[in-house]
Amino acid sequence: MSETQKVSASDNKRRDAGGTTILFFLIGVAISLALGWIIFPKLIYSKKSQPIDFSHVVHNEAVGDCDSCHFFREDGTFSGSPTLAECIDCHEEAQGDAEDERIFVEEYVAQNKEVPWLIYSEQPDCVFFSHAAHVKKAEMSCESCHGKIGTSETLPIYEENRITGYSRNIWGKDIAGIKKHTWDRMKMDDCGECHEEETGDKGSCFQCHK
C-alpha cells in the first residue's frame, strides 16, 4: 500500500470515528431529553382525584358568578374554596340523583365534615399572595391566573409533586417553562414579568416572601 493510500485510509478512519462520536452524542442528547422532559415528570408527580367531582357550569348557572362562592371577607381577606357552611344552604338535601351529590350530602353535609379539597393553586407557606391587590386594585380577572375554570363541567386530575407535596399547577405542565396562556403556571418569574410590565418594577423579594 502506497503512502497516499495509507493517508487516505487513516483519514477515512478518523472521519468514521468522528461520525460515530457525533451519532452517539445525538442519541445521548435525545435520551436525556426524553428522560428529563417526558419520563421524569411522570415519575415525580402522583395523580389524585378530588374527594367528589364538581361542575362549575352547573353552579355558575345557579348562583351567578365567581364572587358568589369565592368572595372577599369584610376585612379584605379572600375566602378561597367554599366551606361546608357556605354550601349547606343549597345542599341540605341532595340536588338531583348524581352519585357525587349523594356522597356530598351523606358523607359531608350530614356529618358536618369539611370536604378535603386538593387545592390546585396553593402556594408554599413562605409565600404571601394578596387576591385583593390583584382583583380589586389591579382589576385582574380570575381567568388571568386560574384559566377558564368557570366553564368546566368536571374537575381535572390533581397532580402532586412527590418531593415537595405541592400541586403541579404551581410549576406548570410544560417542564421547559413555555407558556401559551397567562394561567399555564404561577411562578415567581411570571409574577415578576407582569409586575415589571404594569409598574416598571419587579418588586422586592420580601414583597411576597415572608
Each residue's pLDDT tens digit, 82-134: 999 999 988 888 888 889 999 999 999 999 999 999 999 888 888 888 899 89
Each residue's pLDDT tens digit, 50-74: 999 999 999 988 887 888 889 999 8
Q: Averaged over 190-202, what is the pLDDT?
A: 82
Length of the chain: 210
Q: Provide the pLDDT for residue 2.
A: 53
Q: Provide the pLDDT for residue 104.
A: 95
Q: Comparing 6 with 23, which gets the higher pLDDT?
A: 23
**121 in Cβ contact with 146 (< 8 Å):** yes
What distance in Å separates the CA atoms of residue 81 and residue 70, rounded to the nearest whole number? 6
Which of the four pLDDT bands, split at 50, 70 and 90, describes residue 200? confident
Q: Provide the pLDDT for residue 127.
A: 85
Written as one letter, the residue type at 47 is: K
What pTM was estimated for this model as a whole?
0.75
Which of the four pLDDT bands, split at 50, 70 and 90, describes residue 6? very low
Tell me the backbone φ, ψ of residue 209, rounded to 5 degrees.
-100, 130
Q: Provide the pLDDT for residue 7.
A: 42
Q: Averaged over 2-28, what is the pLDDT?
A: 61
Q: Provide the pLDDT for residue 185.
A: 78
**95 in Cβ contact with 67 (< 8 Å):** no
Q: Provide the pLDDT for residue 122.
A: 86
